[in-house]
Chain A
């Protein structure tokens, strides 16, 4: 699968993205899909911890914190809500 968009780890706080895909495999991929990180779903970058890792995302009405390890492998296209 070809991935488009930017990694979630690069998205600015407050932005909303439409998920395009991810390049994680195996159990972790399954887990993220179960949590709602599926193509077409929207995710909001809610908060970053002081050192930038992990980051809290809102997806399907739930807050999920991901480390850069994972969020850098999930891709989305910004669809608005950006601050700066």
Chain B
């Protein structure tokens, strides 16, 4: 049986782990990822007779390497290339949560946006136009309440569509200022030459423009094939043992 990998990304306190636990039940264990000591949970669930391997990434506001958590989440999405990245958002503060969603979409179009805490939002009088958001982002968007277990089947249907390629995503591509786009255009051929077609070249070019040293380090390790070897201690601010 073919098994798909689904990575769970999301801000802290969005109910990401509640959803993860709901789907995987007791079939999970914790593990170490990509040479980091950041602990991530892994489990399995089945839907429509297909098996899915679920990976719970650390909760982050961003993928811009402010902390070991963010680097771990980022490296997983780039290097492990999950079949689906499930981005869990908090319905009650979409502005900030969409920040992470947009960052994920710059890396991969194989994503499903899951708006959690929809019951909480309704209680606060927040009405969310799922169709409009889905249209703008170019990937499936679905609303759930992990706590009350509503919307879960629909969510899994969307995950399945992206996993098996039924849904061919055309994710939103953010257009930056002329100056930045010029920089990207200049870097793109060099990046493509350096990393091949394996990695999201436009995104890497963007990160280089931003001077992201830690991404360079990760890429260097990946290209040398030493990424999955000995896990090593990560120091520096924001390093956490668990989320």
Minimal Cβ-Cβ distance residue in A for B62: A34
Q: Are B62 and A36 in contact (CB under 8 A)?
A: no
Q: Are B95 and A30 in contact (CB under 8 A)?
A: no
- Interface size class on chain A is 10 to 19
Q: Are B66 and A60 in contact (CB under 8 A)?
A: no
A32-71: CB near B (< 8 Å → 1, else 0) gives 0111101001000000000000000001111000000000
Minimal Cβ-Cβ distance residue in A for B70: A34
Q: Are B62 and A31 in contact (CB under 8 A)?
A: yes
What A residues does B210 contact at CB under 8 A?
30
Q: Is B17 an interface residue (CB 8 A)?
A: no
In the complex, what's the smallest C-beta–C-beta distance from B119 to chain A, in angstroms? 15
Minimal Cβ-Cβ distance residue in A for B238: A31
Q: Is A27 an interface residue (CB 8 A)?
A: yes
Q: Is B64 an interface residue (CB 8 A)?
A: yes
Q: Are B66 and A34 in contact (CB under 8 A)?
A: yes
Q: Are B92 and A30 in contact (CB under 8 A)?
A: no
What A residues does B100 contact at CB under 8 A?
34
Q: Are B93 and A30 in contact (CB under 8 A)?
A: no
Q: Are A60 and B95 in contact (CB under 8 A)?
A: yes
Q: Is B4 an interface residue (CB 8 A)?
A: no
8 Å CB contact of A35 from B13, B90, B96: B96
What B residues does A41 contact at CB under 8 A?
95
Q: Is B99 an interface residue (CB 8 A)?
A: yes
In chain A, positions 2-44 with a C-beta closer than 8 Å to chain B are 27, 30-31, 33-36, 38, 41
Q: Is B61 an interface residue (CB 8 A)?
A: yes
8 Å CB contact of A34 from B13, B90, B93, B99: B99
In the complex, what's the smallest C-beta–C-beta distance from B64 to chain A, in angstroms? 5
What B residues does A31 contact at CB under 8 A?
61-62, 66
In chain B, positions 91-139 with a C-beta closer than 8 Å to chain A are 92-93, 95-96, 99-100
What B residues does A60 contact at CB under 8 A?
93, 95-96
Q: Are A61 and B66 in contact (CB under 8 A)?
A: no
Q: Are A30 and B96 in contact (CB under 8 A)?
A: no
Minimal Cβ-Cβ distance residue in B for A26: B211
Q: Are A27 and B66 in contact (CB under 8 A)?
A: yes
What B residues does A38 contact at CB under 8 A?
95
In the complex, what's the smallest C-beta–C-beta distance from B93 to chain A, in angstroms? 4
Q: Are A36 and B93 in contact (CB under 8 A)?
A: yes
Q: Are A62 and B62 in contact (CB under 8 A)?
A: no
B54-89: CB near A (< 8 Å → 1, else 0) gives 000000011010100000000000000000000000
Q: Are B90 and A61 in contact (CB under 8 A)?
A: yes
- Which A residues have a C-beta under 8 Å from some C-beta of B? 27, 30-31, 33-36, 38, 41, 59-62
Known pairs A35-B96, A38-B95; list 4 more (Cβ under 8 Å). A30-B66, A30-B210, A59-B96, A61-B93
5 sampled A-B residue pairs with Cβ under 8 A: A30-B66, A31-B62, A34-B100, A36-B96, A60-B93
Please list the 5 inter-chain residue pairs (A to B) with the smallest Cβ-Cβ separation, ordered nearest first. Answer: A34-B62, A60-B93, A61-B93, A60-B96, A36-B96
